[in-house]
Structure 1
Amino acid sequence: MTRRPPRPALLALVAALLSLLTATALTAPAAVAGEPARDTTRVGAVPAAALTEVTNFGTNPSDLRMYLYVPESVTPKPAVVVAVHWCTGSGPDMYNGTEYDTLADRYGFIVLYPSVTRSSKCFDVSSPQALRRGGGSDPVGIKSMIDWVTRTYDADTGRVFATGVSSGAMMTNVLLGDYPDVFAAGAAFSGVPFGCFATTDGSEWNSACSGGTITRTPKEWGDLVRGAYPGYTGPRPRMQIWHGTQDDVLRYPNFGEQVKQWTNVQGVSQTPTTTDTPQSGWIRTRYGGTGDRAPVEAVSLQGVGHNLYAQGMASRVLTFFGLDSSGPAPQPQPGACRVKVSVNAWNTGLTASVTLTNTGTTTVDGWKLGFTLPAGQTVTGGWGATYTPSSGSVTATNAPYNGKIAPGASVSIGYQANHGGNSAAPAAFTLNGTACAAG
């Protein structure tokens, strides 16, 4: 048979059908009510369970660097914790010096570590640009980082939090003032109120503020915050404030000034609703509420200096944020681990032998043991684990051969260290962010 040429009308119909099929193939199907979400690969997602630098994340007027930690068991619509480093530090230093990554492994949130590139390695908390929403400098770059994370991981925009130490604590105050619609809460360790460090001469340092000599009324402090985003009438972030009474860098009066500021911003009384002592030497006051998520919570540490952050405090931050009640499979709870340490010291050195026992009922699969070295001690080597950093708040991460600890089982690790006269063992340990019993 001879094939007849197709008619023009038939050709038009075939072309229309092909066009429709092509459009359908290139368009993602709409979700149907009641169907589970489809598992798709996130474009641009970083490797899991590793600190990773992200570049080209958006507007970045002060050339910040962005580091991200995403746990393997990241939850759907995860929360985001912005962890901001101290002067002379960096994003990787904040990662190594705190336990937010191990807590992220447990609860499934994402941790974002901004990092300064200017020579001082201090965040800009003083320029007019930094102290207004969208004004420029570091806050704008950090906001771009948050936007990148929420786009890439479909993060929960109602659960974005900030925490920082020293310069990072000051930036926490600034971020909550500039972007009250972005952050749900903040936790500031050894910081100053929003606007206290303000300068107009280009200087990064305000001696009057650091010396604790700037005092204002609660309304004056509150007006500084409200002035960063004029016309905003929505809810304000909750604030947790930590300060040592012997802080000689950002002096202790800044603690009370922050309380005045954030109680005014929250519209609650400066008279505490509760006062307690969660730990020896600590006085905790709560304002506007009595529970773990009061509008303002303040913790004063008697006799403690500027470098007050210690292992275990991040868990209290998460309780205030409300992030410690959901996530991946449970890890050992406080008291489900025990650590015994023996020290052999000589003139300027020591070795410490550490036995870690799982006293819980589930196997530990991957561990990080956190502890704070006494002042003057520096780790020079070790066995059974990787130790970072070499001083201060140290994290010992399991070796490939001893990452699993069955219930009732133990692992033995140890380290060598130099010391300047204090050869004592660390006073406390945490396993994957939770406290261990001693002995």
Structure 2
Amino acid sequence: MRPPLLRRLGRLLVSALLAATACTFALPSPASAAGGLTQVTGFGSNPGNLAMYTYVPDGLPRSAPVVVAMHGCAQSANDYYANSGWTTMADRYKFAVVFPQTSAANNSLSCFTWFDPADTGRGKGEVASVVSMVDKAAQLYGSDRARVYVTGLSAGGGMTANLLAAYPDVFAGGAVDSGLPAQCATSQTGASGCQYGSLNLTPAQWGDKVRAQNPGYAGPWPRVAIWQGTSDYTVYPVNATELRDQWTNVWGLSQTPSSTTTLPGSTTLTSYDDAGGEPAVQLYQISGMGHGLAVDPGTGEEQCGKSAAYFLDTICSSYYTAHFWGLDGAGTGPGDGDALPAPAGLKAGTPTATSVPLSWSAVAGAASYHVYRGGTRVGTPSGTSFTDSALTAGTSYTWTVAAVDNTGKEGARSAPVTASTTGGGTPATCVTANNYAHVAAGRAHVSGGYTYTNGGNQNMGLYNVFITHTLRQTGPDSWELADGAC
């Protein structure tokens, strides 16, 4: 039987992850926002119809990190700015904060639409808008592209997981607070199954949902913190376990903790360390806490935030997340410390049918560069140019570049550039449909409960009507994943 709240709200409100008191909630105008919160307009491509707000502490240095902080349903950028504690951390550790904001025009309760494939796939909708904000922040503040992080509450937490899956090359770390696994639901009707129960997937199946969002990407993967109250009846605690399973599998780790620690606020921390002994995934479980973001008002070193609706006085999650990411100088995350900055000015030159020339600006201290096509390294030039060859005619490709120092340490990856080879005759056919429809039409096949593209044999996830992909035809009976690329 459906829970009473969901039965009362019906299908229209199944996406709501907070209380229905938000029905009359009004988003603030830029003029009514708090003094330190500034709206940034014209930030670039905005297919998700979002607004961008930022907080920049006094004395922000160049090459500082960026944290993207995403509000929950019925909330605004101003709510998260005022109560989450992230501004306290930004003042202390000197990083910029981007507060994306959705509206009732996108969702009736101003939720980020974490369950809609049109908003969660790479290059699509809301996630693409957030990445545009990251690009704009880097342009405005000279931010370190190797130290970009994202966190969010509830629906914002679900969208955080989707951002990490779609853009692991953009975000060095994430924190999902009372949220849901990446690609847990792909429709409104599927959202309630995630909120209130378990999909009963294996860690490998959860990990496949991440890998399917950026086929061919081999890492590095973001470091992920998961925060969950044990008495959350809006997003059930099983979601935290599923998030743990998902991201430990992506990292290739066991679901057995490397360590277990007791923290303030009746919080239990279990850590899952990478091969170097650094925590890659952390799960914070707060005994007795309901649905919301954990805060701990006060002036102590480990305190932050303000108590309000869905900001719950238990423990300062922003402090512990900032420490986990290395924003306090601990250097636990990739790109921290003395890593080289991202190369600027990556450009694609005039393509041929089988090659595309690339160039970029030099990075001081670089001994060489790594060139990535679609997340896979394809070259290691010593200079600032490279021609990627043996490509397919009439095909679109995306590249990033990272500088490498004389010890072999790779720095931040650049903003991506996309170009298409010439020729190819008739433009490729692209079809967007759910996995069941792709199989029925002969574009894919099923093996062991999973769907695979015909010809390329790429894993598309479970064989059902809830997972949707765009496929591009590469031959008479050959198709490839092309989410966001058609």
| Fold agreement, TM-score > 0.5 | yes
| Alignment counterpart, residue 111 of structure 1, candidates 92, 97, 115 | 97
Distance 1:82 1:277 in 2: 28
1:325 positional shift: 2.7
1:63 positional shift: 1.2
Change over 3 Å in CA distance of 1:74–1:205 after alignment to 2: farther
Tell me, yes or no, if structure 1 residue 156 matches structure 2 residue 141.
Answer: no
Contact kept? 1:222, 1:265, Cα under 8 Å: yes
Secondary structure at 2:263's aligned position in 1?
A: coil
The corresponding residue for 1:221 is 206
1:99 positional shift: 1.5
The corresponding residue for 2:362 is none
1:241 positional shift: 0.4
Letter in 2 for 1:210: Q
Contact kept? 2:48, 2:119, Cα under 8 Å: no
| Alignment counterpart, residue 289 of structure 2, candidates 269, 284, 304 | 304
1:212 positional shift: 1.8
Distance 2:149 2:64 in 1: 12
Distance 1:285 1:157 in 2: 28
Tell me, yes or no, if structure 1 residue 121 matches structure 2 residue 101.
Answer: no
Cα distance per residue 1:163-216 (max 9 Å; x no partner): 1111111111011001000000111110111111221xxx38611111123121
The corresponding residue for 2:451 is none
Secondary structure at 1:187's aligned position in 2?
A: strand
Contact kept? 1:244, 1:300, Cα under 8 Å: yes
| Alignment counterpart, residue 143 of structure 1, candidates 131, 135, 138 | 131
The corresponding residue for 2:47 is 61
Contact kept? 2:251, 2:274, Cα under 8 Å: no
Secondary structure at 1:239's aligned position in 2?
A: strand
Contact kept? 1:61, 1:140, Cα under 8 Å: yes
Secondary structure at 2:210's aligned position in 1?
A: helix
Distance 1:293 1:189 in 2: 21
Contact kept? 1:98, 1:314, Cα under 8 Å: yes
Letter in 2 for 1:93: D
Distance 1:102 1:292 in 2: 29
Letter in 2 for 1:127: D
1:72 positional shift: 1.2
Cα distance per residue 1:334-380 (max 9 Å; x no partner): xxxxxxxxxxxxxxxxxxxxxxxxxxxxxxxxxxxxxxxxxxxxxxx
Deviates further, 305-314 or 160-169: 305-314
Tell me, yes or no, if structure 1 residue 170 matches structure 2 residue 155.
Answer: no
Secondary structure at 1:87's aligned position in 2?
A: coil
Letter in 1 for 2:37: L
Change over 3 Å in CA distance of 1:97–1:303 after alignment to 2: same
Tell me, yes or no, if structure 1 residue 73 matches structure 2 residue 59.
Answer: yes
Distance 2:277 2:138 in 1: 26
The corresponding residue for 2:456 is none
Cα distance per residue 1:314-340 (max 9 Å; x no partner): 1111101100139xxxxxxxxxxxxxx
The corresponding residue for 1:52 is 38
Distance 2:231 2:275 in 1: 28
The corresponding residue for 1:100 is 86
1:292 positional shift: 9.9
The corresponding residue for 2:6 is none
| Alignment counterpart, residue 122 of structure 2, candidates 115, 133, 136 | 133
Cα distance per residue 1:229-268 (max 9 Å; x no partner): 1111221101000111111001011111111000001111
The corresponding residue for 2:320 is 316
1:106 positional shift: 1.7
Root-mean-square deviation (CA), in Å? 2.0
Change over 3 Å in CA distance of 1:116–1:286 after alignment to 2: same
1:129 positional shift: 2.2
1:289 positional shift: 4.8
1:103 positional shift: 1.8
Secondary structure at 1:224's aligned position in 2?
A: helix
Distance 2:274 2:219 in 1: 19
Distance 1:116 1:189 in 2: 18
Secondary structure at 1:206's aligned position in 2?
A: helix
Contact kept? 1:61, 1:138, Cα under 8 Å: yes
Distance 1:128 1:307 in 2: 25
Secondary structure at 1:210's aligned position in 2?
A: helix
Give 5+ residue unaligned stretches, structure 1.
Answer: 1-47, 327-439
Q: How does 1:240-255 map to 2 (within 5 A)?
A: 240-255=225-240
Change over 3 Å in CA distance of 1:153–1:310 after alignment to 2: same
Q: Tell me the percent identity.
A: 41
Letter in 2 for 1:209: C
Cα distance per residue 1:11-57 (max 9 Å; x no partner): xxxxxxxxxxxxxxxxxxxxxxxxxxxxxxxxxxxxx9821000110
TM-score w.r.t. length of structure 2: 0.54
Contact kept? 1:130, 1:138, Cα under 8 Å: yes
1:76 positional shift: 1.8
Secondary structure at 1:129's aligned position in 2?
A: helix
Distance 2:66 2:271 in 1: 24
Q: How does 1:272-421 map to 2 (within 5 A)?
A: 272-279=257-264, 281-289=266-274, 294-311=279-296, 312-325=316-329
Distance 1:127 1:265 in 2: 22
Secondary structure at 1:114's aligned position in 2?
A: strand
Distance 1:104 1:307 in 2: 21
How many residue pairs get matched?
275
Letter in 1 for 2:322: L
Distance 2:212 2:120 in 1: 9
Cα distance per residue 1:107-128 (max 9 Å; x no partner): 1100000000223210021112
Give 5+ residue unaligned stretches, structure 2.
Answer: 1-33, 297-315, 331-486
Tell me, yes or no, if structure 1 residue 88 matches structure 2 residue 74.
Answer: yes
Contact kept? 1:125, 1:131, Cα under 8 Å: yes
Distance 1:292 1:116 in 2: 38
Tell me, yes or no, if structure 1 residue 191 matches structure 2 residue 179.
Answer: yes
The corresponding residue for 1:337 is none
1:101 positional shift: 1.2
Change over 3 Å in CA distance of 1:49–1:109 after alignment to 2: farther
